[in-house]
Amino acid sequence: MAFPIIPLALAVSAVSLAKNIKISARDQRSEDCLDRVAEGTSLHRDAAGDQVNLASRWRRELRWRGTNAGIVIDAAALGRIRVKRL
């Protein structure tokens, strides 16, 4: 009988991640930055070439058939990779 190692590893990592999440207050400056991200994905590099920034946003409206009710899904992410020579 094969031991299901992948589902077990996923479960262990999910529990570990859940224990390390800290609840904090909503930072309005961060919310405003995420609201300004354009839909789609963009990659930016600074003039010196030592930093790359990534911005991505995905927004969809889902409506139920026969009614005007629905939901809006809005996912935005910002990322940065910085490389420095020693």
For residue range 34-72, what is the model confidence (pLDDT) as tens digits? Answer: 888 889 999 888 887 778 889 999 999 999 888 888 999
Residue 31 falls inside a structural domain: no
Contact 18, 8 (CB under 8 A): no
Residue 5 lies in a domain: no
> How many structural domains comprise the chain?
1
Q: Are 12 and 20 in contact (CB under 8 A)?
A: no
> Band of the pLDDT at 11, cuts 50, 70, 90?
confident
What are the helix (H) ranges across 23-84?
28-35
Asked whether residue 81 is assigned to any structural domain, the reply reads yes
Q: Which domain holds residue 62?
A: 39-86
6 inside domain: no
Per the DSSP assignment, residues forming a β-bridge with 60 are 73
State residue 56's pLDDT score. 92
Is 2 domain-assigned? no
With respect to residue 34, please indicate whether it lies within any of the assigned structural domains: no
CA distance 41 to 74: 14
